[in-house]
Chains A and B, each alone.
Chain A
Amino acid sequence: MSEPLELVVSAPPHIRAKETVSGIIGWVILALLPVTLMSVYVFGLYAAKIIILSVGTTVLTEAAIQRLRKIPITIGDGSAALTGLLLALILPPKVPWWIPVIGGFVAIALGKQVFGGLGYNVFNPALVGRAVLMVSWAELMAQSWLSPLGRLDAVSTATPLALMKQARVGLAQFHSAYYYKPLLFTNPGGCLGEVSALLLLVGVTILLYKRIIEWRIPASFLGTVFVLSLFTKTDPLFQVLAGGLLLGAFFMATDYVTSPMTSRGALIFGTGCGFITVLLRCFSNVSEGVTYAILFMNALTPLIDRYTMPRIYGKGKRREKSSS
């Protein structure tokens, strides 16, 4: 018999793919960096303040709650920071300092940790934070816009979507084509993350290339908005570019935890998001519908997953097995 060796014994597989949770989250944060930097460039200190406060609050809240629950602190995986960054990107630039703080706290505490932390939350935490802010401080959230670049002194302007809505009832003049260029490069009024559609798409390209997000949810989301816009007689291209739809479709609706895992489920989810977005934008008294659309579909995700499970190899139609 040979000398005993100290060998590691574990269950297979003995090799692993290189991707890790923190690595994936890191890539998403990296993909958001171009638009984040642009927002700081355009809105200056306003943006920097919101981003720092929001990220700081989410990370601290996560650590504090995990400390209270006496469970390992997992701020190192980056998910809390990502929630903070996403929340900052869907806030208007001129909100007071306590808005991102309250939003960040709500996002992590009510949006994530009450459910048990990463992987167990039903709703997208950043959107939960924003929804709470929108119903609690509606005016602040609807009026703290800035006209960027050189006109920083100018007081609030309306967002293009709000203008479109006013135009539909004859309150304002509105030419959607006028906004293509600003929306792509520097948005005349909107949240931090809506500052440039083009830079957002730079990040999206990275995520699609790294296969961190799949095409199904954003494609069905944007496609549905585009097609339905034709029916509601609004400019489809404008609808797609405006109001944080791109940010929502590529970075929020694709959140692993709160979106369906099956391929067919992803298509249903995206289509549903698109449908509700257009419904809210055109037929409700809120000007912008992406947040509620995604939150609503988040709630349906367990159901969608359940009814779109793939057929198992060697089995007939899938059913909740009890007999055989």
Chain B
Amino acid sequence: MVKIARWGTYLPETKEKTSGRLIEDASLPSEVVIPLCQHIGAPCDPLVEKGDRVLIGQKIGDTEAFCSAPIHASVSGEVIGVEPRPHFTGDCLLSVVIAPDGKQESVEFAGVSGKLTPQKVRCAVREAGLVGLGGAAFPTHVKLCPPEGKSIDSVIINGCECEPFITCDHRNMLEKTDLLLDGLRIIMATVEAEKGYIGIKMNKLDAIRKVEELVAGEENVKVARLDTKYPHGAEKQLIKAILEREVPSGGLPMDVGALVHNAGTTIAISEAVREGKPLTERVLTVTGPGVKNPKNLRVKIGTPIGHLIEECGGFEGEPGKVIMGGPMTGFAQFSIDVPVVKGTSGVILFPRDQVKITPHDPCFRCGRCIRACPVFLIPNFIGLYVERDMIDKAEAYSVMDCIECGLCGYVCPARRPMVQYMKYAKGKIMARRKKIS
């Protein structure tokens, strides 16, 4: 039996187009654009110059900063520029542009030799440039280094894949189940946790069964079956659902002895540690009503999304909206030249006639956002205050605890831009805090 949370909402899954499709390898694009900052933390400095020849897996960006992850070339070829290029967040970021030569020559990889020690694992994970592949792209090795005095007893693998449309984790869990469990055990050994959980929503019964079969009889590794309400895959909500623990406001999962890694990241950890394979490609889902043949693709980091759309048969209907990430939290793009980065879990396309731009109505206090909010905020009040630029009031109503899951905006019958209000208020508050300190 799964427990049904009192927060959240059941969203239309719309995963059926790709959930049954095997992962395919995408072809090489004519150029790859690899931004030097694909993670939360310090950006990397370029290690190559225009005209250099690079190999797959060769480090092209790195930094001394602890909270960062190196960047590797995803193709072999010539560096044709190190210049600012559009990024999915709307900025222009310094990027290494490579023209692939098609030979796909690679540097030699070597896994960790001898006995695995936490230090060796952290080092291998950092050198592989691993970041959270669920979307937030937090450097993985940082998460594997709990500071002095914090102990982690439970490791949770996030296989929820909450966002509608996206199926890459689902396919990963089905097609690389062994690596998933290997990665989990590596993490558990590294942070000395006794318990491991793989949280999977009930809409992926095939994955649940497959993983359960492989962990049958094990005492310390379990599959946690989760209800399909959104957002069970949000880190704090997942911890609450599985461990019944609440991460304190402003705190981290390790404050309650938990560590959460995305399923795709866990597989990548296994590959980095066993084979020394750097993160130069990832699996993502190209789907939505605006694309001809939706697919799960294994894609070189830096591939422009326009190339992936062609790979999937092109636009269906007149292009209207291109989203990087999921439909609830993803970023709408103004250009299809934007490259895939480590955190890109999907590219979702909507045709023009399905993109409605409607003015929003005043809030009529129906309370739907309050009942849906997984953090138990009063989103409509926050929105009303932000609308009047009363940021202090928004802060008093705890806007900083908002996880930007997008549910308040989804359920709002007045079509109010709730997430925009939240992001705006958070940005203002952060800027002010920076100024004060």
Question: Which segment, of B153-161, B216-224, B259-267, B374-382, faces chain A?
Answer: B374-382
> Chain B residues with Cβ under 8 A from A10's Cβ?
321, 332, 357, 417
Q: Do residues B361 and A13 form an inter-chain contact, with CB atoms below 8 A?
A: no
Q: Residue on B with the closest CB to A211?
A: B368
A257 to B328, CA, bound (A): 27
Q: Would A14 and B348 be within 8 Å (CB), given that A314-B249, A321-B398 are in contact?
A: yes
Q: Do residues B361 and A12 form an inter-chain contact, with CB atoms below 8 A?
A: no
> Chain A residues with Cβ under 8 A from B361's Cβ?
21, 74, 77, 118
B27 interface contact, C-beta 8 A: no
Shortest beta-carbon distance from B248 to chain A in Å: 5
A8 to B423, CA, bound (A): 19
Q: Do residues A15 and B419 form an inter-chain contact, with CB atoms below 8 A?
A: no
Q: Would A313 and B376 be within 8 Å (CB), given that A23-B413, A322-B396 are in contact?
A: yes
Q: Residue on A with the closest CB to B361?
A: A21
> Chain A residues with Cβ under 8 A from B343's Cβ?
none
Chain A residues 253-268 with CB under 8 Å of chain B are 256-257, 261-263
Chain A residues 7-54 with CB under 8 Å of chain B are 7-17, 19-21, 23-24
A1 interface contact, C-beta 8 A: yes
Q: Would A309 and B378 be within 8 Å (CB), given that A8-B357, A314-B251 are in contact?
A: yes
Q: Do residues A13 and B370 form an inter-chain contact, with CB atoms below 8 A?
A: no
> Chain A residues with Cβ under 8 A from B412's Cβ?
16-17
With most chain A CB atoms within 10 A of its CB, the pick from B320, B380, B398, B419 is: B398
Chain B: interface size category:
35 or more
Q: Do residues B376 and A9 form an inter-chain contact, with CB atoms below 8 A?
A: no
The SS class assigned to the A binding surface is loop
With most chain A CB atoms within 10 A of its CB, the pick from B335, B348, B362, B395 is: B362
Chain B residues 344-365 with CB under 8 Å of chain A are 348, 350, 355, 357, 361-365
Q: Residue on A with the closest CB to B7?
A: A313
Q: Do residues B334 and A7 form an inter-chain contact, with CB atoms below 8 A?
A: yes
B406 interface contact, C-beta 8 A: yes
Q: Would A312 and B415 be within 8 Å (CB), given that A10-B332, A12-B406, A256-B367 are in contact?
A: no
B246 interface contact, C-beta 8 A: yes
> Chain A residues with Cβ under 8 A from B410's Cβ?
13, 15-17
> Chain A residues with Cβ under 8 A from B366's Cβ?
24, 256, 261
With most chain A CB atoms within 10 A of its CB, the pick from B362, B365, B377 is: B365
B112 interface contact, C-beta 8 A: no
Shortest beta-carbon distance from B351 to chain A in Å: 11
A23 to B415, CA, bound (A): 12
A223 interface contact, C-beta 8 A: no
B50 interface contact, C-beta 8 A: no
B336 interface contact, C-beta 8 A: yes
A151 interface contact, C-beta 8 A: no
Shortest beta-carbon distance from B408 to chain A in Å: 9
Q: Would A119 and B415 be within 8 Å (CB), given that A13-B327, A15-B327, A16-B410 are in contact?
A: no
A322 to B329, CA, bound (A): 30
Shortest beta-carbon distance from A75 to chain B in Å: 13
Shortest beta-carbon distance from A212 to chain B in Å: 9
A120 interface contact, C-beta 8 A: yes
A56 interface contact, C-beta 8 A: no
Shortest beta-carbon distance from A209 to chain B in Å: 16
Q: Do residues A314 and B327 form an inter-chain contact, with CB atoms below 8 A?
A: no
Q: Do residues B364 and A119 form an inter-chain contact, with CB atoms below 8 A?
A: yes
Q: Residue on B with the closest CB to A262?
A: B370
A311 interface contact, C-beta 8 A: yes
A96 interface contact, C-beta 8 A: no
Q: Do residues A261 and B367 form an inter-chain contact, with CB atoms below 8 A?
A: yes
> Chain A residues with Cβ under 8 A from B332's Cβ?
7-12, 14
B236 interface contact, C-beta 8 A: yes
* Residue from the list A2, A256, A314 in contact with B364, Cβ < 8 A: A256
A139 interface contact, C-beta 8 A: no
Q: Do residues B364 and A315 form an inter-chain contact, with CB atoms below 8 A?
A: no
B61 interface contact, C-beta 8 A: no
B323 interface contact, C-beta 8 A: yes
Q: Do residues A14 and B336 form an inter-chain contact, with CB atoms below 8 A?
A: no
Q: Residue on A with the closest CB to B375?
A: A313
Q: Do residues A7 and B320 form an inter-chain contact, with CB atoms below 8 A?
A: yes
Interface string of B108-134 (1 = CB under 8 A from A): 000000000000000000000000000
B409 interface contact, C-beta 8 A: yes
> Chain A residues with Cβ under 8 A from B11's Cβ?
15
A74 to B378, CA, bound (A): 26
B322 interface contact, C-beta 8 A: yes
Q: Would A11 and B330 be within 8 Å (CB), given that A261-B367, A312-B398 are in contact?
A: no
Q: Would A313 and B249 be within 8 Å (CB), given that A19-B413, A256-B364 are in contact?
A: yes
Q: Do residues A20 and B413 form an inter-chain contact, with CB atoms below 8 A?
A: yes
Q: Do residues B365 and A9 form an inter-chain contact, with CB atoms below 8 A?
A: no
B420 interface contact, C-beta 8 A: yes
| Extra pairs beyond A15-B12, A313-B246 (4, CB < 8 Å) | A7-B335, A12-B331, A13-B406, A262-B370
Q: 21 A-B Cβ contacts within 8 A? A: A1-B337, A2-B306, A8-B321, A10-B417, A11-B417, A12-B328, A13-B327, A14-B330, A15-B11, A17-B412, A19-B411, A20-B413, A21-B361, A119-B365, A256-B365, A312-B375, A312-B376, A312-B398, A313-B236, A320-B396, A322-B396
